[in-house]
Structure 1
Amino acid sequence: MDALTRTAVSATLHCLTGCAIGEVLGMVVSTALGWHNAGNIALSVGLALLFGHALTIRPVLAAGVPLRQAAGIALAADTVSIASMELFDNVGLLVIPGVMEAGLGDRLFWASLVGTPAIAFVLTVPVNRWMIARGKEHAVVHQHHHH
């Protein structure tokens, strides 16, 4: 695996973390509240964006970047990645029969919260690789991370 692909995998794993936190929290809360598909997806995507960007902004702030600038860096660094991950994940949720009707006590509900993000990860790596190769996405924030 070349360095660019390794960076894309790393960036996508980072994105997956924030997306997974938001997705799981959003799906659990909205399902518990009896919301339908649009509400489930809206809350999950909103929380995925929130947690994904929060995970990005934290090390940028720790590097001494002012909040307003750090927020801009986080938006530039992860928005396409998070949006791609959420698109692939939610399409998966919508096309797998019974997932959106499954309740908190159903295995299918929990299996989908593991399976669709895994599929979304595989599909998002090439998106991030393409963006990073062009100096976008994770490349924007990489200078502020201290690995």
Structure 2
Amino acid sequence: MPVQQSLATEAAVPLASGGWLSGIAKQIEHAFAPAREVIRPILSSPTVVGIWVVLVLVSVSVLWWDLRKNNQAIASLMQGVWTLVVLYSGPFGLAIYWYSGRTQISHDSLWRRGFRSTAHCYSGCGAGEVVGITLAQGILALTVGWVAAITFGFAYLFGYALTIGPLMQDGVSFKEATWDALLSETPSITIMEIFAIGTDLLLAAEAHMGDLLFWSALAFSLSIGFLVAWPVNVALVHFGVKEGMSNPAKMGSQSASGD
């Protein structure tokens, strides 16, 4: 066999078998290895995890107190969204709610609308990621490829459902609601989950459900997903692909006028 033909055949083998994709993954893993070596011991520390759990519980308590005392005008759906956001991201999630989700905000802006839109997407996709990782990696102990695929599937399913459901409640047909969800949510869900699932697998692909790293890496990866999806949602709102969630300040003023 000629040398050139032999080389071409050898090059085609990894391409056909998906070896090129594995090679890219290994390059990414190698590039982030120094950061992983720093972060993993922190996320594996019982002290750090214990402090984080306390901060999350305090943050959720503050959120519920504020919703009940000052922000009952916020729709029940968004109250649920903010609860999940704070459960996933603790003080970081509470800060986002305080900046963009309360009826007491001084004025609305593109940045606040982007935060609310990301929070809405994040609540559903985060739930899907938790279910997917727990099922595929924690319970079934599947390979990394299957874990990523199943988790992506659950993230899309939960994320779309949180958009399709409310639209259908408003009288939109299932077909139209589904099409709207595909157009408006796919970019942000995709970016969010590429980074979130990638971060989780980079840090804890070999962790088991009994390991602290399994859960702490999952929580950490969710917040990473939120951060990278926020500018995407800002752009989608800016160009009219997404409307963004309602201005909570208007809800507060309507409630006050109704009283």
Task: Tell me whether the two structures share a fold, i.e. TM-score over 0.5.
Answer: yes
The whole-number CA distance in structure 2 between the counterparts of 1:88 and 1:68 is: 29
1:29-108 aligned at under 5 Å gives the runs 29-31=135-137, 32-96=139-203, 99-108=204-213
Q: Does structure 1 residue 110 correspond to structure 2 residue 110?
A: no
Q: What residue number does 2:115 align with?
A: 9
Q: Which structure has the larger Rg over C-alpha atoms?
A: 2
| Number of corresponding residues | 140
Query: 4+ runs of 1 displaced by more than 3 Å?
Result: none
Asked if 1 retains the 8 angstrom alpha-carbon contact of 2:113 and 2:245, the reply is: no
The whole-number CA distance in structure 1 between the counterparts of 2:174 and 2:112 is: 29
The whole-number CA distance in structure 2 between the counterparts of 1:16 and 1:142 is: 13
Deviation, 1:91, is 2.3
Q: Which has the higher contact order (CA 8 A, sep 6+)?
A: 1
Q: Does structure 1 residue 129 correspond to structure 2 residue 255?
A: no
Return 5+ residue gaps in structure 2 as ranges.
1-98, 100-107, 252-259
CA offset digits 1:22-81 (Å, max 9, x no partner): 111111111211101111111100000000000001111011011111111111121111
The whole-number CA distance in structure 1 between the counterparts of 2:176 and 2:219 is: 34
Asked if 1 retains the 8 angstrom alpha-carbon contact of 2:117 and 2:245, the reply is: no
Deviation, 1:142, is 5.6
- Report the secondary structure of 2:209's partner residue: coil
* 11-20 or 43-52, which deviates more: 11-20
The whole-number CA distance in structure 1 between the counterparts of 2:210 and 2:227 is: 28
Aligned-residue RMSD, C-alpha:
1.7
Matched residues, percent identical?
Answer: 36
Return 5+ residue gaps in structure 1 as ranges.
none
